[in-house]
């Protein structure tokens, strides 16, 4: 990956000494944020060919966790570079903002803390910095596709909280959000606090909280600076949500919990907006993110909000880069190809099956597709209320003779015709069918082909399912 050396001046990019990738370009950029009244840095990855292609690109914003910064987590750039260079997904721009500030320095704690990208009397207006200044500046400065359908957010740990909050509050800006080991909710922390504080205060309660007592204390003060600042409460100018016995303070706790993503999800639901939501957590998470994710999933269930929740075999920090492809393909599914046969679905033709042949891009093997996840999910780009499931028969062979294996599955034609008829598709009208699914590694894939249908009215009287099992060698 090439590096560009540029002068470090206002609103111009400058490069720093960081690892070199194969083909894309990484820059560290400084720009002036009106919301913060200061310059902020971010790192940006531009895919190979950006300088000469003249094309506009989707944008993914990745927000770091509590212990990282915009120059950390280089493995998410590695993952993007690898997938783009192998032709697995379309090229995109990756932006990594700095979510830190130094707001406790006046009281003697001159260490950056995570802002959670909220507007705070103590930290500054970091939400506005992110959703207004940064997004606007990136769109004005780089060749981005500026509509929400091509703008996505992902984050790790406290960055996971931050991006979930931003996406739920600003679905007009972002089409999808993913959180890796995200600190998504506040409510379960009432139970987690008493178990975590002894690491910083081994003498036990009552606790005299200080941000320099240890990592958990730094997290506590970062939360308070973002969620419960109090300029009238020196020396730290925050109201802590826990009392000296690690119990929720009844006067402060409601203000703290009011920042939970459960609240933003409820407000999002009431708005009627749309957003694709994905979050994942390790089975050995050592920071409590598993409890927070499960609580968030239950809250989304209660709101009847769709989401995708995945577990992975790992801890809080080790899989940030390893799982990045899962999140990239949630935004932009693998560029699979689909060929339907026959291309004209005739309700009067006796053969009751429709053949769908799928080929994966790059060096991926169709044998790695999890066939239980495959379904027709969209017609003409619109989601079906109930996806159309295939018959379980599958076959792997080189159907198109290009030297690559294809996966073939079969759908029950009468069911497809009934669905099409119900959607108002008319005889002879061209329409797009999209099949979605996942690989065994939980990478998302999508493939679309065009077809036509005739004699749809006949399907109304046909069986909705086969009378015999279909077996394919």
Q: What is the CATH number of the domain that holds 62?
A: 3.40.50.1820
DSSP letter (8 states) at residue 242: B
The DSSP string of 4-32 is ------TT-EE-------SSSEEEEEEEE
Instruction: Centre a 10 Å sphere on the Cβ of residue 192 and count the other Cβ atoms it contains.
Output: 15
Closest C-alpha to 434, from 378, 394, 387: 378
Q: What is the DSSP string of 132-168?
A: IIIHHHHHHHS-B--SGGGEEEEEETHHHHHHHHHHH
Does residue 196 fall inside a structural domain? no
Identify the pLDDT of residue 398: 85
**Among candidates 459, 470, 466, which has minimal Cα distance to 348?**
459
Angle in degrees, CA 25, 27, 32, rounded to 5: 145
Do 363 and 272 share a structural domain? no
Q: Which of 61-75, 131-145, 386-400 has the highest mean pLDDT?
A: 131-145
Say yes or no: 383 and 314 in one domain: no
pLDDT tens for 232-273 read 999 999 999 999 999 999 999 999 999 999 999 999 999 999
Q: How many CB atoms lie within 10 A of CB 155?
A: 32
Question: What pLDDT, on a 0 to 100 scale, did the predictor assign at position 464?
Answer: 60
- Spatial separation of the C-alpha atoms in residues 115 and 98, rounded to whole Å: 10
466 in a structural domain = no
DSSP secondary structure of 404-459:
S-EEEEEEEHHHHHHHHHHTTPPTT-EEEEEEEEEETT--EEEEEEEEEEE-GGGG
Mean pLDDT (whole number) for 142-152 = 97
User: Averaged over 225-229, what is the pLDDT?
Assistant: 96
For the chain, give the percent of residues with pLDDT over 70: 92
pLDDT at 11: 31
Give the residues across from 277 on adjacent strands. 177
Assessment of whether the complete model's pTM goes beyond 0.85: yes
Mean pLDDT of the chain: 90
Q: Are 129 and 99 in contact (CB under 8 A)?
A: no
Determine the pLDDT at residue 469: 42
Output DSSP code: residue 378: E
Does one domain contain both 129 and 265? yes
Q: 409 and 323, same structural domain? A: no
Residue 469 in domain: no
Q: Do the Cβ atoms of 447 and 336 come closer than 8 Å?
A: yes
pLDDT tier for residue 179 given thresholds of 50, 70 and 90: very high
Across the range 307-332, mean pLDDT stands at: 96
Range of the domain at 101: 2-185+260-331
Q: How many residues does the chain have?
A: 473
307, 385: one domain: no
Verify that 272 and 361 share a domain, yes or no.
no
pLDDT per residue as tens digits for the range 182-198: 999 999 999 877 888 88
- Residue 37 predicted with pLDDT over 90: yes
Beta partners for residue 471, in sequence order: none
Inside any domain, residue 250: no
The span from the CA of 90 to the CA of 96, in Å, is 19
368 with 326, same domain? no
**What span, in angstroms and rounded, lies between the C-alpha atoms of 57 and 130?**
19
Beta strands in 258-398 (DSSP E): 276-282, 308-312, 334-335, 337-341, 344-346, 353-359, 369-379, 382-388, 394-397
What's the pLDDT score for residue 407? 95
Q: What is the pLDDT of residues 379-406, one digit of tens each?
A: 999 999 999 999 867 889 888 888 899 9
138 located within any domain: yes
63 found inside a domain:
yes
Please give the tally of structural domains in the chain. Answer: 2
CA atoms within 13 A on the CB side of 209: 26
Return the closest-CA partner of residue 300 out of 264, 327, 259: 264
Query: Are 316 and 386 in the same domain?
Result: no
pLDDT, mean of residues 163-168? 98
Indicate the pairing of strand 444-454 with strand 353-359.
Answer: unpaired
Residue 374 lies in a domain: yes
Task: Identify the domain boundary among 331, 347, 365.
Answer: 331
Does residue 176 belong to any structural domain of this protein?
Answer: yes
Q: Confidence band (pLDDT; 50, 70, 90) for 462?
A: low
Kindly state the average pLDDT of the residues 150-170.
97
Token representation of residue 446: 């999508």
- Note whether 348 and 416 are within 8 A (CB): no
Give 36: exposed, middle or buried? Use CB within 10 Å, 0-12, 13-18, 19+.
middle
Q: What span, in angstroms and rounded, lies between the C-alpha atoms of 309 and 289?
A: 13
Question: Does 179 lie in the same domain as 73?
Answer: yes
DSSP secondary structure string for all residues of 253-283: HHHHHTTSHHHHHHHHHHHT---EEEEEEET
Q: What are the pLDDT digits (tens) for 358-369?
A: 999 999 999 999
Q: Residue 421: which of 449, 453, 443, 393 has the closest Cα?
A: 453
| Contact yes or no for 217/211 (Cβ under 8 A) | yes
348 lies in the same domain as 451: yes
Residues 278/310, Cβ–Cβ less than 8 Å: yes
**What is the domain-level CATH number for residue 422?**
2.60.40
Burial class, 62, CB count within 10 angstroms (exposed 0-12 / middle 13-18 / buried 19+): buried
Please give the C-alpha separations between residue 389 and each of 13, 424, 456, in angstroms, as whole numbers. 49, 20, 19
Last residue of a domain, one of 279, 312, 331: 331
Boundary residue ending a domain (331, 357, 387): 331
Residue (of 190, 177, 178, 163) closest to 291 by Cα position:
190
Neighbour count for residue 356 (Cβ, 10 Å): 21
Cβ atoms within 10 Å of 233's Cβ, excluding its own: 13
Q: Which residues contact 74 (CB under 8 A, 6 or more apart)?
A: 18, 19
Residue that has been written with the tokens 């320095």 in this structure: 105
**Please, which residues bridge with residue 153 across strands?**
61, 177
Do 94 and 16 lie in one domain? The reply is yes
316 and 340 belong to one structural domain: no
Range of lowest pLDDT (130-134, 349-353, 404-408): 349-353
């Amino acid at each position: 990956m090439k590096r560009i050396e540029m002068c470090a001046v206002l609103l111009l990019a400058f490069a720093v000494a960081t690892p070199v990738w194969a083909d894309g370009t990484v820059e560290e950029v400084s720009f002036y944020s009106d919301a913060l009244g200061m310059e902020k840095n971010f790192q940006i990855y531009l895919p190979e060919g950006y300088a000469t292609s003249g094309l506009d690109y989707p944008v993914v914003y990745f927000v770091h966790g509590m212990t990282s910064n915009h120059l950390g987590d280089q493995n998410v750039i590695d993952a993007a570079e690898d997938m783009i260079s192998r032709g697995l997904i379309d090229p995109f721009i990756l932006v990594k903002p700095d979510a830190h500030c130094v707001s406790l320095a006046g009281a003697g704690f001159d260490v950056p803390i995570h802002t959670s990208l909220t507007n705070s009397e103590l930290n500054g207006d970091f939400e506005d910095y992110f959703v207004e200044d940064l997004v606007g500046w990136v769109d004005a400065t780089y060749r981005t596709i500026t509509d929400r359908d091509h703008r996505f957010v992902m984050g790790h740990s406290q960055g996971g909280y931050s991006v979930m909050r931003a996406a739920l509050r600003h679905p007009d800006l972002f089409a999808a959000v993913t959180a890796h080991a995200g600190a998504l909710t506040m409510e379960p922390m009432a139970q987690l606090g008493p178990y975590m504080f002894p690491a910083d205060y081994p003498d036990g309660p009552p606790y005299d909280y200080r941000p320099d007592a240890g990592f958990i204390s730094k997290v506590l003060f970062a939360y308070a600076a973002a969620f419960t600042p109090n300029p009238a409460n020196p020396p730290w100018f925050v109201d802590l949500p826990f009392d000296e016995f690690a119990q929720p303070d009844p006067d402060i706790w409601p203000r703290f919990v009011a920042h939970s993503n459960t609240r933003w999800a409820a407000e999002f639901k009431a708005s009627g907006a749309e957003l694709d939501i994905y979050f994942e957590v390790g089975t050995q998470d050592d920071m409590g993110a598993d409890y927070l994710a499960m609580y968030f999933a239950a809250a989304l269930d209660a709101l009847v909000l769709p989401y995708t929740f995945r577990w992975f075999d790992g801890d809080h920090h080790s899989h940030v880069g390893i799982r990045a492809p899962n999140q990239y393909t949630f935004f932009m599914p693998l560029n699979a190809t689909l060929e339907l046969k026959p291309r004209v679905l005739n309700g009067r033709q006796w053969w009751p099956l429709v053949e769908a042949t799928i080929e994966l891009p790059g060096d991926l093997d169709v044998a790695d597709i999890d066939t239980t996840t495959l379904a027709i999910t969209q017609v003409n780009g619109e989601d079906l209320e109930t996806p159309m499931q295939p018959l379980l028969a599958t076959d792997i062979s080189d159907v198109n003779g290009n030297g690559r294996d294809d996966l073939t599955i079969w759908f029950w034609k009468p069911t497809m015709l009934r669905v099409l008829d119900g959607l108002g598709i008319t005889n002879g009208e061209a329409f797009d069918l999209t099949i979605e699914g996942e690989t065994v590694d939980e990478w998302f894939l999508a493939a679309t082909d065009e077809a036509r249908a005739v004699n749809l009215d006949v399907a109304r009287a046909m069986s909705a399912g086969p009378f015999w099992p279909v077996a394919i060698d």
